[in-house]
Amino acid sequence: MHSLVWRVETACLIRVPTNQKNVISPALRIPPPVLIIFVPMMRLLFVIAADLLIIGCNDPRPTPTAPTAIQKGLPAEKKELVTITAVGDLMLGSDYPNDLRMPQRNILLPLADSLKAGDFLIGNLEGVITDAAVPEKKCINPKNCYAFRMPPGTEHYFKEAGFDFLSLANNHSGDFGNSGLVQTMSLLKKSGIGYAGIKYHQAHRIIKKNGVRYGVIAAGFGWRHLHVSQPHQVTQVIGRIKDSTDLLIVYFHGGAEGDSMDRVVKRKERFRGEDRGDVHAFARSCIDAGADLVLGSGPHVARGIELYRQKLIAYSLGNYATYGSISLRGPMGVAPILRIRLNKNGNFTDGEILSTIQLPGNDQTPRLDPAKTVALRMLQLSKSDFPQSPLRITQKGEIMIKNF
């Protein structure tokens, strides 16, 4: 029996005295016939007990550790989510033909914390950053000309607000010709902001940030850009760069524009005779080819969103920060800050719409809209245009996948 006790002691590294003799009262002595059965049974019980103790002392299961703050109450895959923050058109005032339409401050700063809250921030640069004097765009009335020229130094405003990428694939990137566009790209590069959207120069960009490779392809409807009416131009690039990215985003500029152009009509759209693409067919083609997220701008109003093959498509993000020259009438004065969370496979998990509002000539805006006007409008539009989509938007602006 002493050997059995030592077996248990060595397994658990616990020493107990075993040299004490057991003293049994004569009155409690067991008769010899009973001992014949009792002793083997006791030996068997000690063997079983010793083995159980050894197993317990050498339990192969790891000791649970307390969850960190970021994991508390969340499924394991939450650690691998990436948050993309997206906004629409950005034009921080134009000094052409004079500086009467320039703000006195960086209009992005009041909501900079909301913009920086995610992992990657993206928007559309509606104009150029240049001191080029002569616009390429021909205007009948120069005093009311939609040629957008932000002065050099504006690139720092975008950097201060946290932008990682700006699309140049829009109908204002050529307002001041090649010289204005080249200067814009040079200033963005020096400030550390990624850009793309020029077909034969920089159609896409891969940006590595915090260990994640973000691929962004920008498309528009001008001759300088990959065209939204020719999806194959974009899908070919998707196929070429997909394996070099962790998340692949397409940011397009397309669709007819104006305060009544907030519906996704699912056919080719034209504005003043110009082909602005079938944005529904275009966006779905991009997802089919391997894009993880498709974001749109161009109509100057917000449009609905849908979930297609587990990927999010936002068809227009409206005017986010457009001071001075762009109309803010009605729905053109409200826009979302769209936060989208994607898992490691690029599939949408959840998100939110932060509603913002701009006021004409007010350089304290955009600011948050307590009425949540654009979130409620996007809720209605998404239901109307994509009734089969499994997305659910709450009145607070939360975006989630329905549980059927």
Report d(CA 27, CA 128) in Å as an integer.
Answer: 107
Same domain, yes or no, for 356 and 227?
yes
Are both 132 and 205 inside the same structural domain? yes
- If asked whether residues 155 and 14 sit together in one domain, one would say no
Note whether 83 and 51 are same-domain residues. no
Q: How far is Cα 4 from Cα 13, in angstroms, rounded to an integer? A: 14
CB 313 within 8 A of CB 389: no
The angle subtended at Cα 179 by Cα 249 and Cα 189, nearest 5°, is: 45
The CB-side HSE value for 37 (13 A sphere, CA atoms) comes to 4
Q: Indicate whether 150 belongs to any domain.
A: yes
Q: Provide the residue-wise pLDDT of the chain in tens; the chain has 404 residues.
A: 444 333 333 333 334 344 444 444 444 344 544 444 444 455 544 444 444 333 333 333 333 333 333 333 334 344 489 999 999 999 999 999 999 999 999 999 999 999 999 999 999 999 999 999 989 988 777 667 899 999 999 999 999 999 999 999 999 999 999 999 999 999 999 999 999 999 999 999 999 999 999 999 999 999 999 999 999 999 999 999 999 999 999 999 999 999 999 999 999 999 999 999 999 999 999 999 999 999 999 999 999 999 999 999 999 999 999 999 899 999 999 999 999 999 999 999 999 999 999 999 999 999 999 999 999 999 999 999 999 999 999 999 999 999 85
Is residue 365 located within the same domain as residue 219? yes
The reply to whether 70 falls in a domain is no
What is the tally of structural domains in the chain?
2
Q: Is 67 part of any domain?
A: no
Residue with tokens 């034209």: 270
Number of residues assigned to the chain: 404
Range of the domain at 317: 79-401
Task: Residue 274: give its domain's CATH number.
Answer: 3.60.21.10
Count CB atoms within 10 A of the CB of residue 62.
6
Same domain, 47 and 159: no
Residues 181 and 225 in one domain: yes
393 with 247, same domain: the answer is yes
User: How many angstroms separate the CA atoms of 156 and 51, rounded?
Assistant: 71
User: Are 40 and 99 contained in the same domain?
Assistant: no
Backbone angles phi, psi at 128, to 5 degrees: -130, 160
Same-domain status, 127 and 258: yes
| Residue 79 backbone zone (phi > 0: left; psi -120 to 50: alpha; other: beta) | alpha
Whether 396 is in a domain gets the answer: yes
Residue 104, burial from CB neighbour count under 10 angstroms (0-12, 13-18, 19+): exposed
Say if residue 44 is in the same domain as residue 97: no
Report if residue 106 sits inside a domain: yes
The answer on 268 and 130 residing in a single domain is yes
